[in-house]
Amino acid sequence: MSRQHRIEDFVVITGLSGAGKSQAMACFEDAGYFCVDNLPPEMIGSLSDLFRHEGSKVERAAVVCDVRGGEYFGGVPQVLDELAARGTPHRLLFLEASEEVLVDRYKETRRRHPLAPGGQPLSGIRAEHELLDPLRARADVSIDTTDLSAARLRQVVADKMLPREAGGRMAVTFLTYGFKHGAPRDPDLAFDVRFLPNPHYEHDLRELTGLDPRVVDYVEGSDGIDDFYERLLPLLDYLLPAYVKEGKAHLTIGIGCTGGRHRSVVIADHLARHYAERTEYIVDVVHRDVDKPPTTA
């Protein structure tokens, strides 16, 4: 009697079209998983059986299965039940994003939504929501990608889905934003710097951003800025190692001001420079709203 090969991890990736499933799959591919995109639901079980055959060298696999599977997509819950019955270790990763962001992504890429090939993306997005609700409810991990760049999405997927390598450095992202444009959904830490004087009300600075030296000088010369850093830096010096000890691989620190163009940008860049000198962290900065035009306020 032939022995069966045991697969260690079988990940099914699904979610809304445009929410970043391809980026998520790339994260698993980089981690050494055998990956298949756009796999019809009825083939998931057959693929897992293939991996179980003696001689199979596949120990970890990830497949993307979504509404591109057409009328057969509704069978995904049954497929997951069958994987459980076979004793195949599996996890379901669900990706979503806000309607507004998904519509914008379709406009940028000029792609057609699979459920609205001849119409508006929004109608397809809403129809897809209804189809995906049963899967969202049973997902092992759900990630909202509304405020995530492609690089940050891959970091979050790695943080939530992949074992962290011993001695790996924690990635720290400083995310700036304007409250006028909505706060990000899930930063791990968030700081509101609207208590500082606003360069928006300085005529010579309004059209500039926190990337301009003149705005940097204005913000860094503000009353109270030194006291702010004297309190914030020791707090972060305490919290960041605690997150590392807890095993976190990626930490997002939100810095918000009114428009996300001046104060938050200067503060985040200051913090990024400070912590980039630490060898135990990988630091990056995302200025979400810096390119938005100034508004009257």
Q: What is the pTM of this model?
A: 0.65
Domain annotation covers residue 35: yes
pLDDT by residue, tens only, the chain of 297 residues: 345 667 889 999 999 988 999 999 998 998 889 999 988 888 888 888 888 776 677 888 999 988 876 665 667 888 888 888 888 889 999 999 988 888 888 877 777 787 777 777 788 888 888 888 888 889 999 999 988 888 888 888 888 888 765 456 788 999 999 999 998 877 899 999 999 999 999 999 999 999 999 999 999 999 999 999 999 999 999 999 998 888 787 889 999 999 999 999 999 999 999 999 888 888 989 899 999 988 754
CA distances from 166 to 29, 52, 118, 239 (A): 20, 29, 50, 20
17 and 147, same domain (yes or no): yes
For 69-138, give the DSSP string: GGGGGGGHHHHHHHHHHHT--EEEEEEE--HHHHHHHHHHHTPPBTTBTTS-HHHHHHHHHHHHHHHHHH
225 and 257, same domain (yes or no): yes
Half-sphere exposure of 107 (CA within 13 A, CB side): 8
156 and 175, same domain (yes or no): no
Q: Where residue 84 sits, what CATH number does that domain have?
A: 3.40.50.300
Amino acid 72 reads: Y
Domain annotation covers residue 295: no
197 and 117, same domain (yes or no): no
Q: How many domains does the chain have?
A: 2
Measured distance CA(210)–CA(92) in Å, rounded: 41
The backbone torsions φ and ψ at residue 83, rounded to the nearest 5 degrees and listed phi first, read: -60, -40
146 and 78, same domain (yes or no): yes
Residue-range definition of the domain harbouring residue 198:
170-287
Token representation of residue 138: 């049973």
272 and 208, same domain (yes or no): yes
Q: What is the pLDDT of residues 40-91, one digit of tens each?
A: 888 888 888 888 776 677 888 999 988 876 665 667 888 888 888 888 889 9
Boundary residue ending a domain (141, 161, 181): 161
Q: Is 141 helix (H, G, I), strand (E, B) or coil?
A: strand
223 and 251, same domain (yes or no): yes
153 and 174, same domain (yes or no): no
Boundary residue ending a domain (120, 139, 161): 161
Contact between 209 and 261 (Cβ < 8 Å): yes
154 and 23, same domain (yes or no): yes
Element (H, E) at 245: helix 225-246
Boundary residue ending a domain (102, 129, 161): 161
CB-based contacts of 7, cutoff 8 Å, min separation 6: 48, 51, 52, 56, 58, 59, 60, 61, 88, 89
147 and 184, same domain (yes or no): no
Token representation of residue 151: 């690089």
Domain annotation covers residue 259: yes
Question: Which of 77, 72, 50 is CA-nearest to residue 61?
Answer: 50
Q: How far does Cα 32 stand from its chain's mean position?
A: 20
Q: Could you tell me if residue 176 is left (phi over 0), alpha (psi between -120 and 50 degrees) or otherwise beta? A: beta
Token representation of residue 136: 């969202």
Contact between 210 and 289 (Cβ < 8 Å): no
Token representation of residue 191: 């700081």
45 and 139, same domain (yes or no): yes
Tokens 């004793």 -> residue: 87
Half-sphere exposure of 128 (CA within 13 A, CB side): 27
204 and 137, same domain (yes or no): no
Domain annotation covers residue 2: no
Domain annotation covers residue 279: yes
